[in-house]
Structure 1
Amino acid sequence: MAFRKRNIALSRPGEDVQSSASPSSSVSPILQAPPGVRPSPVDGRPTTSTGTPSLDAILAGHAGLPLGNSLIIGESGTTDYAGALLRFYAAEGVVQGHRVHVVGMGEVWGRELPGLVEGKDGRREGKERAEKMKIAWRYEGLGQFESARGSPASNRPQADGGGAEESAVFCHTFDLAKRLTLPVGTAVNYIPIPRTSQPSPFPPILQNIQQQLASSPPNTIHRLVIPSLLSPALYPPSTSQPTSILQFLHALRALLRQYPTRLTAMTTLPLTLYPRSTGLVRWMEILSDGVLELSPFPYDHMQSLSTSGAATQAEERPQGMLAVHKLPVFHEKGGGGGGEDLGEDLAFTLSRRKFVVAKFSLPPVEGDREAQEEAAHGHGGSMPSKKELEF
């Protein structure tokens, strides 16, 4: 039986083996992913971060938003938690050097993007991420939900450290109390809503986005941000007609499929004005790849949670519920997960530096809490002592 050394490259018939193994031989170059893009751990599709690690963790196991897909986030009430998600999404694109398109908002909205966390706190978080990834990087890289409360696997630094660590950051940490300093000539495209006599203002918006995609280099990543879609404060009344909004979403979906490795979109929708029970909103959700719903708690309910022990001292009080109605599915195996087990048991918390999606658990009953406190103080007699637990 003939054997071949492992360190000698295979050659075609009639080709010299030594010449094929020489360093000067022609080797196909390895395509490098653009900044802020990495392959999905599920099927290798290119993904980008939404700027919110816990949101990346629940997107069908892809640990990010796959390119060529869209998310629509509905919110009920008068709060603007969904707007914070949009700002994180846009700020992440600016930091990564992506081309960000904002519909219906001016430069004032762009100047309110959250700034990066710097200093000792940022370095401390980087060390915590490094230590965490040394322990279980394979599990967290799959975008499991348990990584939502901690540092995401998407922030795994390189082993070399230094500049390689900074260049490999997939999702940055932002501070809502700070403002992002936009670099000179930053790639933020503010698309106004045309006030014309046309029945729909969406065709000029789509034309603007398509021109930007066609004129940019092929490795440029684009992010489309649409705040408060169909809001009467921004859009004329005619846009709420199905012939207007559904055609726009259908054309946007076709544009995402035309540029499957360059474009993503995130939209917010006021559910108080357009509830999910209407046929128009259901069709809008069908034309979107992912659908999330934010239901903030009333003020009195949040006050009761603050006194009922719904969270420990290390955890922050939840501010509302998050429902996952639809997630992107990419192949016959169903992607990395579905929305069946990610329903009404998810809660969200917006703090100064992060938007966290975590599992929601009801607070303990008052009697049980008193019993636990009594046992913890040694009055119950059922809790073993520290000496008894030592081996």
Structure 2
Amino acid sequence: MNSFHKANDFRVSINGTKLKNNLPFVSSGIPSLDYVIEEDILGNYSRVLTKYFLAEGVTCKHGLLVVSADENPTEIVHELPQPCTASSDDEIHTASRGVDKMKIAWRYEGLSQVESSFGSNTNFGHHFDLSKHIDADTIKNSNIRYCDPNIDKHDITGFQNNLYSNLINVIKDTISQEEYQQRAKQNKNMLRISIQSLGSPIWMAMDCDETGVGMRYGHDLIKFIYCLRVLLRDTNAVAFVTLPSHLFDDDNIMKRILYTVHNAVKIESFAGSSRETNPLYKDYHGLFHITKLSTPFSLVPFIPPSLDLAFKLKRKKFLIEKLHLPPELQESSEREQDDITAIPTCGGFKKKDIDF
């Protein structure tokens, strides 16, 4: 969903951050990815990204604020992936690519190689193993605060939906701590705010007028995103929010949200679609769309090396790669027909008779 980055005097370094254009950046836990997410329809993959974001915070000893109105937020931190060195799967993947190269037709052999995975060699952030989990004692001893807007009730005006006002108050109270202020000289730290499924049916149910129609839904949601950005502007905090945008009937809601946030990406899962059984996409689980990228304090916007991205979830890790459809390696009726087509030459040779 969204990732808000702020900058000021960062002479006191914070563990797990890096400076770019005088802005402090934190890792999402997936190399080179720090965004706000539009959820996939089933919400499965957005949950994986949330776990990466939180696991990176636990590893870097950042403060965490975990928010969910759909489920007990304490359950979200269960089974966070364990940090590890670069996975041996990368070596296996590299070796398999060498084997596959022998199968590629000669007409593709001269093409330059393209790096598929982003950030595979980065030294910023950590690599995580989804098959192993951070132990319960580490989670217990981490600086984690949980918030269920249905329970944490506060008297704040400005929103017609109490869930939004409750959450704003909790965020405001959390970031008021000295360690998350940019003016702090000692014990400075980052706060990671994870808001899961903001705007889900739970939020919609609390947003109806007297006729039972959710007329105010988009207004409060957009207002909340704007208020969140204002609250985090001068603090050492970053928000990672997932939105079930497929539930929004009004496209203008997402357009206005995208105008407010810094970065946004969208997950398009193949589950339940025709692409799920399409052999061309057999190596992937869905498409990964970069919807918006911001470059504060820079005259030149960042342009990714490719916008045709896909993702796949392996047993140990979540990968985002450049989308490469495989070449036609097997004989097809079209190629057979092409082979037997006669070529008018002075010698009367046919194409199939020519041996290269």
Q: Considering the TM-score relative to the shorter chain, is it more than 0.5? A: yes
Work out whether 1:179 is the aligned partner of 2:133. yes
Partner Cα distance (2:88, 2:323) in 1: 30
Partner Cα distance (2:241, 2:330) in 1: 44
| Contact 2:36–2:242 (Cα < 8 Å) also in 1 | yes
What is the Cα deviation at residue 47 of structure 1?
1.1
Residue 17 (structure 1) aligns with: none
Pick from 264, 267, 281: which aligns with 1:294? 267
Moved over 6 A (4+): 123-126, 368-371
Pick from 241, 260, 263: which aligns with 1:267? 241
| Contact 1:90–1:225 (Cα < 8 Å) also in 2 | yes
Pick from 112, 137, 149: which aligns with 2:117? 149
Structure 1 unaligned blocks of 5 or more: 1-29, 57-64, 66-70, 127-145, 156-169, 312-316, 372-378, 384-391
Pick from 224, 242, 249: which aligns with 1:248? 224
Check 1:230–1:368 CA distance in 2 against 1; reply closer, same or farther (3 A cut). Answer: same
Q: Which amino acid counterpart does residue 173 of structure 1 have in structure 2?
A: H
Check 1:224–1:350 CA distance in 2 against 1; reply closer, same or farther (3 A cut). Answer: same
Q: Secondary structure at the match of 1:97?
A: coil
Work out whether 1:359 is the aligned partner of 2:322. yes
Check 1:234–1:186 CA distance in 2 against 1; reply closer, same or farther (3 A cut). Answer: farther
Partner Cα distance (1:290, 1:151) in 2: 18
Q: Secondary structure at the match of 1:328?
A: coil
Check 1:368–1:94 CA distance in 2 against 1; reply closer, same or farther (3 A cut). Answer: same
Pick from 197, 203, 217: which aligns with 1:228? 197
Check 1:382–1:323 CA distance in 2 against 1; reply closer, same or farther (3 A cut). Answer: farther
Q: Which amino acid counterpart does residue 265 of structure 1 have in structure 2?
A: A
Residue 36 (structure 1) aligns with: 16
Partner Cα distance (2:43, 2:317) in 1: 17
Aligned residues: 285
Pick from 140, 146, 154: which aligns with 1:190? 146
| Contact 1:148–1:356 (Cα < 8 Å) also in 2 | no
Q: Secondary structure at the match of 2:133?
A: coil
Residue 311 (structure 2) aligns with: 348
Q: Tell which deviates more after alignment, 231-240 or 30-39.
A: 231-240
Q: Percent identity?
A: 22
Q: Which amino acid counterpart does residue 149 of structure 2 have in structure 1?
A: I
Pick from 207, 218, 222: which aligns with 1:238? 207
Structure 2 unaligned blocks of 5 or more: 1-9, 92-113, 209-215, 336-351
What is the Cα deviation at residue 93 of structure 1?
0.5
Please give the TM-score of this superposition, normalised by the length of structure 1: 0.63
Check 1:335–1:124 CA distance in 2 against 1; reply closer, same or farther (3 A cut). Answer: same
What is the Cα deviation at residue 354 of structure 1?
2.3
After superposition, the C-alpha distances for 1:38-97 in whole angstroms (9 at most, x for unaligned) are 122xx24221111001x43xxxxxxxx4xxxxx431134224211111110011001100
| Contact 2:116–2:322 (Cα < 8 Å) also in 1 | no
Partner Cα distance (1:330, 1:369) in 2: 51
Q: Which amino acid counterpart does residue 49 of structure 2 have in structure 1?
A: L
| Contact 1:229–1:267 (Cα < 8 Å) also in 2 | yes
What is the Cα deviation at residue 147 of structure 1?
6.1
| Contact 1:101–1:223 (Cα < 8 Å) also in 2 | yes
Say what the alpha-carbon RMSD is for the aligned residues. 3.4
What is the Cα deviation at residue 98 of structure 1?
0.5
What is the Cα deviation at residue 325 of structure 1?
1.4
Partner Cα distance (2:115, 2:16) in 1: 19
Q: Which amino acid counterpart does residue 48 of structure 1 have in structure 2?
A: V
What is the Cα deviation at residue 369 of structure 1?
7.8
Q: Which amino acid counterpart does residue 289 of structure 1 have in structure 2?
A: H
Residue 82 (structure 2) aligns with: 115
Partner Cα distance (2:43, 2:353) in 1: 45
Q: Which amino acid counterpart does residue 247 of structure 1 have in structure 2?
A: K
What is the Cα deviation at residue 103 of structure 1?
0.9
Please give the TM-score of this superposition, normalised by the length of structure 2: 0.69
Q: Tell which deviates more after alignment, 246-255 or 231-240.
A: 231-240
Mapping 1:73-112, distance limit 5 Å: 73-104=37-68, 105-112=72-79
Check 1:382–1:213 CA distance in 2 against 1; reply closer, same or farther (3 A cut). Answer: farther
Work out whether 1:202 is the aligned partner of 2:160. no
Partner Cα distance (2:44, 2:324) in 1: 24
